[in-house]
Homo-oligomer: A and B are copies of this chain.
Amino acid sequence: MDFAFDATTHEHREKLEAFMEEHVYPAEPLFEEQARDSGWSAPPIIEELKAEARRRGLWNLFLPGEGLTNLQYAPLAEIMGRSPAIAPVATNCAAPDTGNMEVLHQFGTDDQRKRWLEPLLNGEIRSAFAMTEPDVASSDATNIATSIVRDGDEYVINGRKWFITGAMNPNCAVFIVMGKTDPEAPKHRQQSQILVPRDTPGLTVKRGMSVFGYTDNDHGGHAEVIFEDVRVPAANLIGEEGGGFAIAQARLGPGRIHHCMRLIGMAERAIEMMCRRALARTAFGKPVAQQGVVQDWIAESRVKVEQLRLLVLKTAWLMDTVGNQGAHTEIQAIKIATPIAVEWILDKAVQVHGAGGVSQDFPLAALWAGARSLRFADGPDEVHKRSLAYRELKKHT
Closest to A213 in B: B213
> B298 and A393: CB pair below 8 A?
yes
State in angstroms the CA–CA spacing of A140 and B354 once bound together: 12
In the complex, how many residues of chain A place their beta carbon closer than 8 angstroms to a beta carbon of chain B?
Answer: 87
A92-100, A169-177, A369-377: which lies at the interface? A369-377
Q: Which residues of A contact B (CB under 8 A)?
A: 1-4, 132, 134, 136-140, 143, 162-163, 209-215, 271-272, 275-276, 278-279, 281-284, 288-289, 291-296, 298-300, 302-303, 306-308, 310-311, 314, 329-330, 333, 336-337, 351, 354-361, 365-366, 368-369, 372-373, 375-377, 380, 382-386, 388-390, 392-393, 395-397
Report the minimum CB–CB distance from A347 to chain B (whole Å). Answer: 8
In the complex, which of the residues A209, A212, A372 has the most CB atoms of chain B within 10 Å of its own CB atom?
A212
How many of these chains are in the complex? 4
State in angstroms the CA–CA spacing of A278 and B395 once bound together: 13
State in angstroms the CA–CA spacing of A14 and B295 once bound together: 43
Closest to A281 in B: B137
Report the minimum CB–CB distance from A244 to chain B (whole Å). Answer: 18
> B292 and A291: CB pair below 8 A?
yes
> A385 and B310: CB pair below 8 A?
no
> B139 and A392: CB pair below 8 A?
no
Known: A210-B365, A213-B213. 18 other contacts (CB 8 A): A1-B2, A2-B3, A134-B356, A137-B281, A275-B393, A279-B393, A292-B382, A293-B296, A295-B385, A295-B389, A298-B393, A299-B385, A300-B336, A303-B337, A307-B308, A307-B310, A358-B373, A358-B376
State in angstroms the CA–CA spacing of A136 and B337 once bound together: 34
19 contacts between A and B (CB under 8 A): A1-B4, A2-B2, A136-B282, A137-B354, A209-B359, A209-B361, A210-B360, A211-B213, A212-B369, A213-B214, A279-B396, A291-B382, A292-B382, A294-B382, A299-B388, A299-B392, A302-B392, A351-B382, A357-B376
> B393 and A278: CB pair below 8 A?
yes
> A289 and B393: CB pair below 8 A?
yes
7 smallest beta-carbon distances between A and B, as pairs: A213-B213, A292-B292, A213-B214, A299-B385, A2-B2, A295-B389, A310-B310
> B351 and A389: CB pair below 8 A?
no
